Amino acid sequence: MTQEENIAAEAAARTNGPTHSGFVALIGPTNAGKSTLVNRLVGAKVSIVSHKVQTTRAIVRGIAIHDNAQIVFMDTPGIFKPRRRLDRAMVTSAWGGAKDADLIMLLIDSERGLRGDAEAILEGLKEVQQPKILVLNKIDRVNREDLLALAASANEKIAFDRTFMISAETGSGCDDVMDYLASTLPEGPWYYPEDQISDLPMRQLAAEITREKLFLRLHQELPYSSHVETEKWEERKDGSVRIEQVIYVERDSQKKIALGKGGETIKAISTASRKELSEILEQPVHLFLFVKVRENWGDDPERFREMGLEFPK
């Protein structure tokens, strides 16, 4: 029996009636709350979250089971006006994910409304043929009249199949979204085993966790020119795992920021990352972080491949 047949058999044994499955691309402006929502809908952390915009760099797939449906969420990078090569690669990745999905979910920050990048995204969606739903996030921060006006304005520009009002942070309204997706996605076998929540390799997820802690600690001081790679992963006989990671920056001044006085900053980042990785892996983690200067890494095709992005010409 093939892996696909095994997955189908497991799904059939678990459910009554036909199964549904499909890919849902979550797109929107930067900092609209896409990663927070994906983690909420999946029920576990599969995408990193920070207050720094453009944190998500490549498509992260989070896998959720709801009723008889397996919903594969594609958390795409925030769409914005690109200025650098990395920016262009991220925006291209986001639109590519949208065009590969069965359904597109546009997430809008209710506080910011349709200003700036949101307006441009709506224009871009006119060229995309897939079914589309609108999700207004952070509704607890906006009064009802403004929410209804925002929903009406967006629907005037795009014929959305449905509009939802949610709070990704509290979970309000998220069950309605899941009910709709489970009933709307096409009938078919599940793509992944029932207990799988992401297709991200663990080495890459570990690097993403450390990058999140780096941004949370240094979101004001450290620019975007930083990147984390997991270089070594050793399962030890005592049941623990030894992980070595490198934080790449572009200048010596950035290296000093990442290390901190007496190494206190890198120690704090390591402690926070190690704690979360131990919880995810359910085993002791020995994490060793190194900071290296690699000038113009943003122009290195190998770094883009490591991040899961195509290197733009």
Ligand-binding site membership of 239 (annotated): no
Q: Are residues 175 and 216 in the same domain?
A: no
105 phi and psi, to 5 degrees?
-115, 110
- Residue at 313 is within a domain: no
Ligand-binding site membership of 28 (annotated): yes
Q: Is 71 helix (H, G, I), strand (E, B) or coil?
A: strand
Ligand-binding site membership of 140 (annotated): yes
pLDDT at 198: 80
Residue type, 173: G
Q: Are residues 217 and 168 in the same domain?
A: no
Ligand-binding site membership of 31 (annotated): yes
Across the beta sheet with 241-249, what order do the strands follow?
226-235, 241-249, 285-293
Q: What is the CATH number of the domain that holds 273?
A: 3.30.300.20
pTM recorded for the entire structure: 0.68
Ligand-binding site membership of 201 (annotated): no
pLDDT at 57: 47
Q: Which of 183, 213, 242 is the last residue of a domain?
A: 183
CA distances to 64, 308, 313 from 178, in Å? 9, 28, 39
Q: Are residues 140 and 37 in the same domain?
A: yes
- Residue at 179 is within a domain: yes
Q: For residues 301 and 184, which has the higher predicted lDDT (pLDDT)?
A: 184
Q: Are residues 115 and 178 in the same domain?
A: yes
Whether the CB-CB separation of 107 and 245 falls below 8 Å is answered with no
Q: Are residues 208 and 131 in the same domain?
A: no
Position 12 confidence tier, pLDDT thresholds 50, 70, 90: low
Q: Are residues 147 and 248 in the same domain?
A: no
The stretch 113-133 carries a mean pLDDT of 85
- Beta-strand (E) ranges in 48-193? 60-66, 69-75, 103-109, 132-137, 162-165
Q: Are residues 144 and 49 in the same domain?
A: yes
Position 291 confidence tier, pLDDT thresholds 50, 70, 90: very high
Whether the CB-CB separation of 32 and 83 falls below 8 Å is answered with no
Report pLDDT digits (tens) over 179-198.
Answer: 999 999 999 999 988 888 88
Q: Which domain holds residue 297?
A: 202-307
Q: Are residues 266 and 171 in the same domain?
A: no
Ligand-binding site membership of 213 (annotated): no
pLDDT at 13: 54
Q: What is the CATH number of the domain that holds 34?
A: 3.40.50.300
Q: For residues 171 and 211, which has the higher predicted lDDT (pLDDT)?
A: 171
Q: Are residues 152 and 213 in the same domain?
A: no
Ligand-binding site membership of 301 (annotated): no
Q: Is 136 helix (H, G, I), strand (E, B) or coil?
A: strand
d(CA 218, CA 59): 24
Ligand-binding site membership of 257 (annotated): no
Task: Work out the percent of the chain whose per-residue pLDDT is above 90.
Answer: 43
- Residue at 189 is within a domain: no
Report pLDDT digits (tens) over 24-35.
Answer: 988 888 778 888
Ligand-binding site membership of 209 (annotated): no
- Residue at 284 is within a domain: yes
Report pLDDT digits (tens) over 18-71.
Answer: 899 999 988 888 778 888 898 899 888 776 554 444 444 456 778 999 999 999
Q: Are residues 231 and 87 in the same domain?
A: no
Q: What's the structural domain count of the chain?
A: 2
pLDDT at 58: 52
Q: Is 104 helix (H, G, I), strand (E, B) or coil?
A: strand
- Residue at 137 is within a domain: yes
The stretch 165-169 carries a mean pLDDT of 95
Residue type, 287: L
According to DSSP, the β-strands at 226-235 and 241-249 are antiparallel
Q: Which of 124, 150, 183 is the last residue of a domain?
A: 183
In sequence order, the β-bridge partners of residue 228 are 247
- Residue at 77 is within a domain: yes
225 pLDDT above the threshold of 70: no
Q: Are residues 39 and 177 in the same domain?
A: yes
